[in-house]
Amino acid sequence: MAINVVLVEPEIPQNTGNIVRTCAAVGVNLHLIKPLGFSVEDRYLRRAGLDYWDKVNIKYYDNFNELRHKYKECTFYYSTTKAQNSYADVRYPEDCFIVFGKETAGLPEELLVENREWCIRIPMKDDIRSLNLSNSVAVIVYEALRQNNFAGLAAQGELTKYCW
């Protein structure tokens, strides 16, 4: 199963580095929408992603419309605290895209309005603004993988040789 994570104008290099590491660990593609709030040569970005950069399929786009046009036949989900649908209540098809906004502002309001039925949220307490971006990516990506029996990842039986 191919899952695609999209970061729209990410601002914090450590978050993107952590997301790179998650994508490497589970074989998820990463799409970065410019402008980025950092250089991809940033030492904090590299440190957070460690040596996983070469293990992730990363693509860059000048804007979100460029990505959307290229993959117009695919299903897109938009992660936002403003959605009615829980991330756990939707079915993630093969080759879907899960879109996340920048840390300080989320996704643009017009994008959310245009795609209301495809918006998903992570349930949390009302007095908390949001989870950290890299945590949100991990939560939703692992749900998509769980729904698809963690296809392509180490099975439980393969791990038992390392357990005590």
Token pair 């046009």 in the structure block, residue: 69
Q: First and final CA of the chain: distance in angstroms?
A: 31
Nearest alpha carbon to residue 23 among 125, 112, 142, 110: 142
Token pair 């450590």 in the structure block, residue: 14
Q: Is 58 annotated as a binding residue?
A: no
Q: Is 130 annotated as a binding residue?
A: yes
Q: Is 101 annotated as a binding residue?
A: yes
Angle, CA 43 vertex, CA 130 and CA 45 arms, to 5°: 30
Binding-site annotation: residue ranges for S-adenosyl-L-methionine: 101, 122, 130
Binding-site annotation: residue ranges: 101, 122, 130
